[in-house]
Amino acid sequence: MGIGLVILLGAVVGTVAAAIGTVVLRSATAFLTRRVTKGRRSVILAATVFPFGCLAWGAAVFICQWTINENVFHRDPGIGDAWKCPLPNGYALLTIWQAD
């Protein structure tokens, strides 16, 4: 499986999980604040946006660690079929994942 497919699959799964989290958090917030009159809409809106904010934060962290690993440490980002890590004195680790 190529890196592009892994990233696409992660984005789809993350979006579906965030959508489910949005429904659950919005429903729970609406239920728990049903007697509140002031500021209820903003709290429900924050609970609705929160899962997608978490998804964006996770994507940003992944992109930052990917960039640092590639450009500073010269290592593989750790996704896809193979993972390589150079070691001192010319040695290296190579892991190849194989699905049976």
Tens place of pLDDT per residue across the chain (100 aa): 577 888 899 999 999 999 999 999 999 999 999 999 899 999 999 999 999 999 999 999 999 998 998 888 888 777 777 778 888 898 988 888 776 6
Domain locations in the chain as residue ranges: 3-73
Whether this model's pTM surpasses 0.75: yes
Q: Which of 80, 90, 87, 75 is nearest to 3 (CA)?
A: 80
The whole-number pLDDT of residue 90 equals: 87
The whole-number pLDDT of residue 34 equals: 93
How many angstroms separate the most distant Cα atoms in the chain? 67
The whole-number pLDDT of residue 28 equals: 97
CB 95 within 8 A of CB 82: yes
Polymer length of the chain: 100
